[in-house]
Structure 1
Amino acid sequence: MLLLAVDTATPAVTAALHDGTKVLAESSRVDARRHGELLLPAVDRVLAEAGATLDAVTAVVTGVGPGPYTGLRVGLVTAATFGSALGVPVYGLCTLDGLAYAAGRDAGVTGPFVVATDARRKEVYWARYASPRERLTGPAVDRPADIAEQLAGLPAVGAGALLYPDAFPTVVPGAPEHVSAAALAALAAEKLAEGGDAGPAEGAFLPPQPLYLRRPDAQVPKNYKVVTPQ
Protein backbone atom coordinates (compact mmCIF):
# COMPACT_ATOMS: atom_id res chain seq x y z
CA MET A 1 0.00 0.00 0.00
CA LEU A 2 1.17 3.49 -0.82
CA LEU A 3 -1.28 6.28 -0.01
CA LEU A 4 -0.83 9.78 -1.37
CA ALA A 5 -2.76 12.32 0.72
CA VAL A 6 -3.40 15.99 -0.08
CA ASP A 7 -5.43 18.80 1.46
CA THR A 8 -5.97 22.44 0.51
CA ALA A 9 -9.09 23.25 2.56
CA THR A 10 -7.17 25.45 5.01
CA PRO A 11 -4.26 27.87 4.47
CA ALA A 12 -1.96 24.84 4.75
CA VAL A 13 -0.98 23.30 1.41
CA THR A 14 -0.11 19.79 2.49
CA ALA A 15 0.87 16.44 0.98
CA ALA A 16 2.09 13.15 2.45
CA LEU A 17 2.90 9.53 1.63
CA HIS A 18 1.93 6.61 3.88
CA ASP A 19 2.80 2.95 3.38
CA GLY A 20 -0.06 1.58 5.48
CA THR A 21 2.10 1.43 8.59
CA LYS A 22 3.79 4.80 8.87
CA VAL A 23 4.19 8.18 7.23
CA LEU A 24 7.09 8.05 4.78
CA ALA A 25 7.25 11.76 3.94
CA GLU A 26 5.20 14.90 4.40
CA SER A 27 5.26 18.51 3.28
CA SER A 28 3.17 21.42 4.55
CA ARG A 29 3.35 25.11 3.79
CA VAL A 30 0.93 27.75 5.07
CA ASP A 31 0.00 30.17 2.29
CA ALA A 32 -3.68 30.93 1.80
CA ARG A 33 -3.21 32.45 -1.67
CA ARG A 34 -0.96 29.96 -3.47
CA HIS A 35 -2.62 26.55 -3.22
CA GLY A 36 -2.46 26.03 -6.98
CA GLU A 37 1.23 26.92 -7.16
CA LEU A 38 2.40 24.93 -4.15
CA LEU A 39 0.54 21.62 -4.18
CA LEU A 40 2.23 19.80 -7.07
CA PRO A 41 5.74 20.77 -5.91
CA ALA A 42 4.76 19.42 -2.47
CA VAL A 43 3.74 16.12 -4.06
CA ASP A 44 7.07 16.01 -5.93
CA ARG A 45 8.94 16.61 -2.65
CA VAL A 46 7.26 13.82 -0.72
CA LEU A 47 7.76 11.36 -3.57
CA ALA A 48 11.45 12.27 -3.79
CA GLU A 49 11.93 12.10 -0.03
CA ALA A 50 10.30 8.68 0.12
CA GLY A 51 12.24 7.43 -2.91
CA ALA A 52 8.97 6.58 -4.64
CA THR A 53 7.46 7.27 -8.04
CA LEU A 54 3.93 8.41 -8.73
CA ASP A 55 3.01 5.17 -10.48
CA ALA A 56 3.66 3.29 -7.22
CA VAL A 57 0.74 5.04 -5.51
CA THR A 58 -2.13 2.63 -4.81
CA ALA A 59 -4.74 5.10 -3.52
CA VAL A 60 -5.24 8.84 -3.11
CA VAL A 61 -6.71 10.51 -0.02
CA THR A 62 -8.05 14.06 -0.10
CA GLY A 63 -9.55 16.42 2.41
CA VAL A 64 -13.00 17.48 1.20
CA GLY A 65 -13.37 20.49 3.48
CA PRO A 66 -15.22 22.42 4.58
CA GLY A 67 -13.09 25.23 3.25
CA PRO A 68 -13.05 28.33 1.05
CA TYR A 69 -14.26 27.70 -2.49
CA THR A 70 -11.15 28.22 -4.61
CA GLY A 71 -8.50 26.73 -2.35
CA LEU A 72 -10.57 23.65 -1.57
CA ARG A 73 -11.03 22.79 -5.24
CA VAL A 74 -7.27 22.72 -5.90
CA GLY A 75 -6.73 19.65 -3.73
CA LEU A 76 -9.88 17.89 -4.92
CA VAL A 77 -9.16 18.37 -8.61
CA THR A 78 -5.55 17.28 -8.12
CA ALA A 79 -6.63 14.14 -6.25
CA ALA A 80 -9.24 13.30 -8.90
CA THR A 81 -6.69 13.78 -11.68
CA PHE A 82 -4.16 11.50 -10.01
CA GLY A 83 -6.83 8.88 -9.35
CA SER A 84 -7.97 8.92 -12.98
CA ALA A 85 -4.46 8.90 -14.45
CA LEU A 86 -3.25 6.09 -12.17
CA GLY A 87 -6.46 4.09 -12.14
CA VAL A 88 -6.57 4.03 -8.32
CA PRO A 89 -9.34 4.83 -5.83
CA VAL A 90 -9.73 8.31 -4.36
CA TYR A 91 -10.97 8.51 -0.77
CA GLY A 92 -12.47 11.66 0.73
CA LEU A 93 -12.18 12.62 4.39
CA CYS A 94 -13.62 15.59 6.24
CA THR A 95 -10.78 18.05 6.82
CA LEU A 96 -12.00 18.70 10.38
CA ASP A 97 -11.80 14.96 11.07
CA GLY A 98 -8.14 15.07 10.05
CA LEU A 99 -7.52 17.90 12.51
CA ALA A 100 -9.35 16.02 15.26
CA TYR A 101 -7.29 12.90 14.59
CA ALA A 102 -4.05 14.91 14.67
CA ALA A 103 -5.09 16.54 17.95
CA GLY A 104 -5.35 13.11 19.51
CA ARG A 105 -2.13 11.83 17.96
CA ASP A 106 0.05 14.91 18.47
CA ALA A 107 -1.41 16.67 21.51
CA GLY A 108 -2.96 13.81 23.46
CA VAL A 109 -6.50 15.17 23.17
CA THR A 110 -9.06 12.54 24.12
CA GLY A 111 -12.43 14.29 24.24
CA PRO A 112 -14.90 15.74 24.19
CA PHE A 113 -13.60 18.76 22.26
CA VAL A 114 -14.32 21.03 19.32
CA VAL A 115 -12.38 21.70 16.12
CA ALA A 116 -12.68 25.11 14.44
CA THR A 117 -11.03 26.47 11.29
CA ASP A 118 -11.20 29.95 9.78
CA ALA A 119 -14.15 30.33 7.41
CA ARG A 120 -13.45 34.04 6.79
CA ARG A 121 -16.33 36.54 6.90
CA LYS A 122 -15.87 36.47 10.71
CA GLU A 123 -17.13 32.86 10.78
CA VAL A 124 -15.66 29.46 11.58
CA TYR A 125 -16.12 25.97 10.22
CA TRP A 126 -16.55 23.74 13.24
CA ALA A 127 -17.52 20.30 14.53
CA ARG A 128 -17.82 18.73 17.96
CA TYR A 129 -16.07 15.44 18.79
CA ALA A 130 -16.49 12.78 21.46
CA SER A 131 -12.98 11.50 20.67
CA PRO A 132 -10.37 12.03 17.94
CA ARG A 133 -12.23 9.57 15.70
CA GLU A 134 -15.85 10.17 16.66
CA ARG A 135 -17.60 13.29 15.39
CA LEU A 136 -20.80 14.16 17.26
CA THR A 137 -22.10 17.18 15.36
CA GLY A 138 -21.20 19.17 12.28
CA PRO A 139 -19.46 20.21 10.23
CA ALA A 140 -21.18 23.58 10.24
CA VAL A 141 -20.37 27.23 9.62
CA ASP A 142 -21.34 29.91 12.13
CA ARG A 143 -20.28 33.15 13.77
CA PRO A 144 -18.26 32.27 16.90
CA ALA A 145 -20.50 34.33 19.18
CA ASP A 146 -23.55 32.36 18.02
CA ILE A 147 -22.11 29.00 19.11
CA ALA A 148 -20.10 30.07 22.16
CA GLU A 149 -22.80 29.09 24.64
CA GLN A 150 -23.37 25.57 23.30
CA LEU A 151 -19.60 24.91 23.20
CA ALA A 152 -18.83 26.47 26.59
CA GLY A 153 -16.27 24.51 28.57
CA LEU A 154 -15.05 22.39 25.67
CA PRO A 155 -11.34 22.37 24.79
CA ALA A 156 -10.80 23.71 21.27
CA VAL A 157 -8.40 22.90 18.44
CA GLY A 158 -7.63 24.76 15.22
CA ALA A 159 -6.83 28.19 13.80
CA GLY A 160 -10.46 29.23 14.03
CA ALA A 161 -10.40 28.79 17.79
CA LEU A 162 -7.23 30.86 18.07
CA LEU A 163 -8.82 33.70 16.10
CA TYR A 164 -11.78 34.04 18.49
CA PRO A 165 -10.63 33.56 22.09
CA ASP A 166 -13.85 35.00 23.50
CA ALA A 167 -15.82 32.13 21.98
CA PHE A 168 -13.07 29.50 22.43
CA PRO A 169 -11.28 30.38 25.68
CA THR A 170 -9.74 26.92 26.18
CA VAL A 171 -7.44 26.20 23.24
CA VAL A 172 -5.45 22.97 23.62
CA PRO A 173 -1.70 23.77 23.95
CA GLY A 174 0.40 22.14 21.26
CA ALA A 175 -2.55 21.10 19.12
CA PRO A 176 -2.28 21.70 15.37
CA GLU A 177 -3.74 24.86 13.87
CA HIS A 178 -4.22 23.45 10.36
CA VAL A 179 -4.80 19.99 8.97
CA SER A 180 -1.84 17.93 7.78
CA ALA A 181 -1.93 15.40 4.96
CA ALA A 182 0.11 13.10 7.21
CA ALA A 183 -2.80 12.93 9.65
CA LEU A 184 -5.30 12.35 6.85
CA ALA A 185 -3.15 9.56 5.42
CA ALA A 186 -2.74 7.89 8.82
CA LEU A 187 -6.47 8.10 9.47
CA ALA A 188 -7.25 6.65 6.05
CA ALA A 189 -4.74 3.82 6.59
CA GLU A 190 -6.42 2.93 9.88
CA LYS A 191 -9.84 2.91 8.26
CA LEU A 192 -8.66 0.74 5.37
CA ALA A 193 -7.03 -1.71 7.79
CA GLU A 194 -10.34 -1.95 9.63
CA GLY A 195 -12.14 -2.96 6.48
CA GLY A 196 -12.55 0.23 4.55
CA ASP A 197 -15.73 2.22 4.63
CA ALA A 198 -16.87 2.13 8.25
CA GLY A 199 -20.31 3.23 9.38
CA PRO A 200 -21.25 6.88 9.94
CA ALA A 201 -20.51 6.76 13.68
CA GLU A 202 -16.93 5.82 12.88
CA GLY A 203 -16.56 8.53 10.22
CA ALA A 204 -17.01 6.86 6.85
CA PHE A 205 -15.02 7.82 3.79
CA LEU A 206 -16.75 10.57 1.87
CA PRO A 207 -17.09 11.03 -1.89
CA PRO A 208 -14.12 13.10 -3.13
CA GLN A 209 -16.34 16.11 -3.73
CA PRO A 210 -16.15 19.59 -2.15
CA LEU A 211 -18.00 19.98 1.13
CA TYR A 212 -19.43 23.48 0.76
CA LEU A 213 -21.41 24.90 3.65
CA ARG A 214 -22.30 28.21 2.00
CA ARG A 215 -22.49 29.82 -1.41
CA PRO A 216 -19.25 31.06 -3.05
CA ASP A 217 -18.34 34.75 -2.98
CA ALA A 218 -18.41 34.95 -6.78
CA GLN A 219 -21.88 35.34 -8.24
CA VAL A 220 -23.19 35.32 -11.80
CA PRO A 221 -24.32 38.85 -12.72
CA LYS A 222 -28.08 39.22 -12.85
CA ASN A 223 -28.08 41.75 -15.68
CA TYR A 224 -25.65 41.44 -18.54
CA LYS A 225 -24.42 44.51 -20.38
CA VAL A 226 -25.24 44.41 -24.09
CA VAL A 227 -22.01 44.65 -26.11
CA THR A 228 -23.22 43.57 -29.56
CA PRO A 229 -24.41 46.07 -32.17
CA GLN A 230 -28.12 46.80 -32.15
Structure 2
Amino acid sequence: MLLAIDTSAGTDVAIVTPHGRVLAERRTADTRHHAEVVGVAIAEVLAEAGLSPQHVTQVVGGMGPGPFTGLRVGVAAARTFAFARAARFIPMPSHDAAAHEWRAEHPEAAGDLLVTTDARRGELACSRYEQGLLVASSSELHRPNAVPAADHRFDTRTISAAHLALAWLDREVQGLEAEANTILYLRGADAVPSNGPKRVTG
Protein backbone atom coordinates (compact mmCIF):
# COMPACT_ATOMS: atom_id res chain seq x y z
CA MET A 1 0.00 0.00 0.00
CA LEU A 2 1.04 3.61 -0.60
CA LEU A 3 0.74 6.37 1.98
CA ALA A 4 0.95 9.83 0.40
CA ILE A 5 1.50 13.06 2.34
CA ASP A 6 1.62 16.64 1.08
CA THR A 7 1.73 19.88 3.09
CA SER A 8 2.78 22.30 0.36
CA ALA A 9 -0.62 24.02 0.55
CA GLY A 10 -2.94 22.68 3.22
CA THR A 11 -2.48 19.18 4.61
CA ASP A 12 -3.45 16.22 2.43
CA VAL A 13 -2.96 12.55 3.28
CA ALA A 14 -4.14 9.49 1.34
CA ILE A 15 -3.92 5.71 1.14
CA VAL A 16 -3.71 4.29 -2.39
CA THR A 17 -3.34 0.69 -3.52
CA PRO A 18 -0.50 -0.34 -5.87
CA HIS A 19 -3.16 -0.67 -8.59
CA GLY A 20 -4.29 2.95 -8.21
CA ARG A 21 -7.41 2.62 -6.07
CA VAL A 22 -7.83 5.44 -3.56
CA LEU A 23 -8.93 3.91 -0.25
CA ALA A 24 -9.01 7.01 1.94
CA GLU A 25 -8.03 10.67 1.86
CA ARG A 26 -8.05 13.52 4.38
CA ARG A 27 -7.72 17.19 3.45
CA THR A 28 -7.34 20.25 5.66
CA ALA A 29 -7.17 23.61 3.90
CA ASP A 30 -5.54 25.34 6.89
CA THR A 31 -2.05 26.46 5.85
CA ARG A 32 -0.79 27.15 9.39
CA HIS A 33 -1.37 24.06 11.55
CA HIS A 34 0.19 21.23 9.57
CA ALA A 35 2.01 19.80 12.59
CA GLU A 36 -1.20 19.52 14.60
CA VAL A 37 -3.20 17.71 11.91
CA VAL A 38 -0.82 15.56 9.86
CA GLY A 39 -0.47 12.81 12.47
CA VAL A 40 -4.23 12.67 13.03
CA ALA A 41 -4.81 12.52 9.27
CA ILE A 42 -2.40 9.60 8.89
CA ALA A 43 -4.15 7.68 11.66
CA GLU A 44 -7.57 8.42 10.17
CA VAL A 45 -6.78 7.27 6.63
CA LEU A 46 -5.22 4.06 7.91
CA ALA A 47 -8.29 3.38 10.06
CA GLU A 48 -10.71 4.15 7.21
CA ALA A 49 -8.80 1.85 4.88
CA GLY A 50 -8.77 -0.88 7.52
CA LEU A 51 -4.98 -0.99 7.55
CA SER A 52 -2.21 -0.84 10.10
CA PRO A 53 1.13 0.94 9.55
CA GLN A 54 2.91 -2.29 8.60
CA HIS A 55 0.73 -2.57 5.49
CA VAL A 56 2.39 0.53 4.03
CA THR A 57 5.28 -0.39 1.71
CA GLN A 58 5.83 3.00 0.03
CA VAL A 59 5.49 6.54 1.36
CA VAL A 60 5.11 9.27 -1.26
CA GLY A 61 6.10 12.70 0.01
CA GLY A 62 5.22 15.98 -1.67
CA MET A 63 8.45 17.98 -1.92
CA GLY A 64 6.98 21.35 -2.94
CA PRO A 65 7.18 24.02 -4.12
CA GLY A 66 5.79 25.33 -0.85
CA PRO A 67 6.48 27.57 2.16
CA PHE A 68 9.42 26.59 4.35
CA THR A 69 7.72 25.66 7.63
CA GLY A 70 4.60 23.91 6.36
CA LEU A 71 6.46 21.96 3.70
CA ARG A 72 9.04 20.66 6.16
CA VAL A 73 6.30 19.27 8.40
CA GLY A 74 4.92 17.01 5.69
CA VAL A 75 8.31 15.90 4.40
CA ALA A 76 9.49 15.11 7.92
CA ALA A 77 6.30 13.13 8.63
CA ALA A 78 6.67 11.15 5.40
CA ARG A 79 10.36 10.41 5.91
CA THR A 80 9.86 9.46 9.56
CA PHE A 81 6.97 7.11 8.80
CA ALA A 82 8.96 5.46 6.02
CA PHE A 83 12.03 5.04 8.24
CA ALA A 84 10.02 3.65 11.16
CA ARG A 85 8.24 1.07 8.98
CA ALA A 86 11.24 0.29 6.74
CA ALA A 87 9.12 1.43 3.79
CA ARG A 88 10.47 3.03 0.62
CA PHE A 89 10.30 6.83 0.60
CA ILE A 90 9.33 8.34 -2.77
CA PRO A 91 9.97 12.10 -3.19
CA MET A 92 7.64 13.76 -5.71
CA PRO A 93 7.13 17.41 -6.75
CA SER A 94 3.78 18.58 -5.41
CA HIS A 95 2.84 20.16 -8.73
CA ASP A 96 2.98 16.69 -10.32
CA ALA A 97 -0.15 15.85 -8.33
CA ALA A 98 -1.98 18.90 -9.67
CA ALA A 99 -0.89 18.11 -13.23
CA HIS A 100 -2.06 14.52 -12.85
CA GLU A 101 -5.40 15.64 -11.42
CA TRP A 102 -6.02 18.11 -14.26
CA ARG A 103 -5.06 15.61 -16.96
CA ALA A 104 -7.36 13.00 -15.41
CA GLU A 105 -10.25 15.46 -15.56
CA HIS A 106 -9.42 16.59 -19.12
CA PRO A 107 -8.27 13.42 -20.93
CA GLU A 108 -8.95 14.86 -24.38
CA ALA A 109 -7.02 18.12 -23.84
CA ALA A 110 -3.94 18.52 -26.01
CA GLY A 111 -0.99 20.83 -25.51
CA ASP A 112 1.10 21.92 -22.56
CA LEU A 113 -0.22 22.62 -19.06
CA LEU A 114 0.83 25.31 -16.60
CA VAL A 115 0.20 24.50 -12.93
CA THR A 116 0.21 27.43 -10.49
CA THR A 117 -0.04 27.68 -6.71
CA ASP A 118 0.07 30.69 -4.43
CA ALA A 119 3.67 31.57 -3.54
CA ARG A 120 2.61 34.53 -1.37
CA ARG A 121 4.16 37.99 -1.63
CA GLY A 122 2.15 38.56 -4.79
CA GLU A 123 3.82 35.70 -6.68
CA LEU A 124 2.79 32.36 -8.14
CA ALA A 125 4.81 29.15 -8.23
CA CYS A 126 4.51 27.86 -11.80
CA SER A 127 5.41 24.51 -13.34
CA ARG A 128 5.02 23.70 -17.03
CA TYR A 129 4.16 20.18 -18.21
CA GLU A 130 4.46 19.43 -21.89
CA GLN A 131 1.90 17.16 -23.50
CA GLY A 132 2.56 13.52 -22.72
CA LEU A 133 5.30 14.24 -20.17
CA LEU A 134 5.00 13.39 -16.48
CA VAL A 135 7.90 15.58 -15.36
CA ALA A 136 7.79 19.38 -15.33
CA SER A 137 9.95 21.01 -17.98
CA SER A 138 10.33 24.15 -15.83
CA SER A 139 9.41 25.46 -12.36
CA GLU A 140 9.70 29.15 -11.50
CA LEU A 141 8.19 32.00 -9.51
CA HIS A 142 6.27 34.65 -11.45
CA ARG A 143 4.19 37.72 -10.79
CA PRO A 144 0.56 37.07 -11.76
CA ASN A 145 0.79 39.54 -14.65
CA ALA A 146 3.94 37.85 -15.97
CA VAL A 147 2.87 34.20 -15.93
CA PRO A 148 4.04 32.49 -19.14
CA ALA A 149 1.48 31.46 -21.71
CA ALA A 150 0.38 27.84 -22.02
CA ASP A 151 -2.32 25.90 -23.84
CA HIS A 152 -3.97 25.16 -20.51
CA ARG A 153 -3.60 26.56 -16.99
CA PHE A 154 -4.58 25.05 -13.64
CA ASP A 155 -4.61 27.48 -10.71
CA THR A 156 -5.03 25.32 -7.63
CA ARG A 157 -5.13 26.06 -3.91
CA THR A 158 -4.90 22.41 -2.90
CA ILE A 159 -2.63 19.49 -3.67
CA SER A 160 -4.19 16.04 -3.70
CA ALA A 161 -2.11 13.41 -1.92
CA ALA A 162 -4.08 10.75 -3.78
CA HIS A 163 -3.04 12.22 -7.13
CA LEU A 164 0.53 12.52 -5.84
CA ALA A 165 0.56 8.75 -5.35
CA LEU A 166 -1.19 8.15 -8.68
CA ALA A 167 1.38 10.35 -10.45
CA TRP A 168 4.13 8.18 -8.95
CA LEU A 169 2.38 4.99 -10.08
CA ASP A 170 2.22 6.40 -13.62
CA ARG A 171 5.96 7.08 -13.48
CA GLU A 172 6.57 3.51 -12.38
CA VAL A 173 4.59 2.20 -15.35
CA GLN A 174 6.74 4.29 -17.70
CA GLY A 175 9.95 3.19 -16.00
CA LEU A 176 10.80 6.65 -14.68
CA GLU A 177 12.79 7.16 -11.50
CA ALA A 178 11.68 9.21 -8.52
CA GLU A 179 12.87 12.79 -8.21
CA ALA A 180 15.95 13.68 -6.18
CA ASN A 181 15.29 13.63 -2.44
CA THR A 182 15.36 17.42 -2.13
CA ILE A 183 12.81 19.90 -0.84
CA LEU A 184 11.65 22.64 -3.19
CA TYR A 185 11.18 25.68 -0.97
CA LEU A 186 9.63 28.86 -2.26
CA ARG A 187 11.98 30.80 -0.02
CA GLY A 188 14.35 30.11 2.84
CA ALA A 189 13.45 30.20 6.52
CA ASP A 190 14.38 33.87 6.73
CA ALA A 191 11.81 34.61 4.00
CA VAL A 192 14.30 36.34 1.73
CA PRO A 193 12.80 36.52 -1.80
CA SER A 194 14.52 34.41 -4.42
CA ASN A 195 14.47 34.30 -8.20
CA GLY A 196 12.76 30.94 -8.09
CA PRO A 197 12.01 27.95 -5.92
CA LYS A 198 15.05 26.82 -3.94
CA ARG A 199 15.97 23.16 -3.80
CA VAL A 200 17.45 22.17 -0.45
CA THR A 201 18.73 18.76 0.50
CA GLY A 202 17.79 17.65 3.98
Normalising by structure 1, we get a TM-score of: 0.76
String of CA shifts for 1:159-217, please: whole Å, max 9, x gaps.
Answer: 3xxxxxxxxxxxxxxxxx4210000111112223444xx1xxxxx41233311243333
Q: Is the 8 A contact 2:61 2:78 kept in 1?
A: yes
Measure the CA separation in 2 of the matches of 1:56 and 1:124: 38
The answer for the alignment partner of 1:131 in structure 2 is 131
**Cα distance, 1:105 vs structure 2:** 1.2
Q: For structure 1, which segment, 134-143 or 27-36, has the greater mean C-alpha deviation from structure 2 after superposition?
A: 134-143
Q: Is the 8 A contact 1:115 1:128 kept in 2?
A: yes
Correspondence for 1:205 among 178, 189, 195: 178
Correspondence for 1:217 among 164, 177, 190: 190
1:24-173 equivalences under 5 Å are 24-108=23-107, 109-131=109-131, 133-135=133-135, 137-147=137-147, 150-151=148-149, 154-159=151-156
Normalising by structure 2, we get a TM-score of: 0.86
2:171 matched to 1:191? yes
Measure the CA separation in 2 of the matches of 1:8 and 1:106: 23
Measure the CA separation in 2 of the matches of 1:205 and 1:35: 25
Q: Percent identity?
A: 35
Q: Is the 8 A contact 2:8 2:62 kept in 1?
A: yes
**Cα distance, 1:128 vs structure 2:** 1.3
Measure the CA separation in 2 of the matches of 1:15 and 1:213: 21
Q: Is the 8 A contact 1:7 1:14 kept in 2?
A: yes
String of CA shifts for 1:21-76, please: whole Å, max 9, x gaps.
Answer: 11111111111111111111111111011100011100100110010000000110
5+ residue gaps, structure 1, are 160-176, 199-203, 220-230
- The structure in which a higher percent of residues are strand is 2
The answer for the alignment partner of 2:15 in structure 1 is 17
Q: Is the 8 A contact 2:96 2:136 kept in 1?
A: no
Q: Is the 8 A contact 1:67 1:119 kept in 2?
A: yes
Q: Is the 8 A contact 2:94 2:159 kept in 1?
A: yes
String of CA shifts for 1:85-116, please: whole Å, max 9, x gaps.
Answer: 11111011111111000111134454322100
Assess, with a 3 A threshold, how the Cα gap between structure 1 residues 85 and 136 changes in structure 2: closer, same or farther. closer
Q: Is the 8 A contact 1:14 1:29 kept in 2?
A: yes
The answer for the alignment partner of 2:4 in structure 1 is 5
SS at 1:211's partner residue?
Answer: strand
Q: How many residues align?
A: 190
5+ residue gaps, structure 2, are 193-202
> Higher Cα Rg: structure 1 or 2?
1
Measure the CA separation in 2 of the matches of 1:206 and 1:130: 17
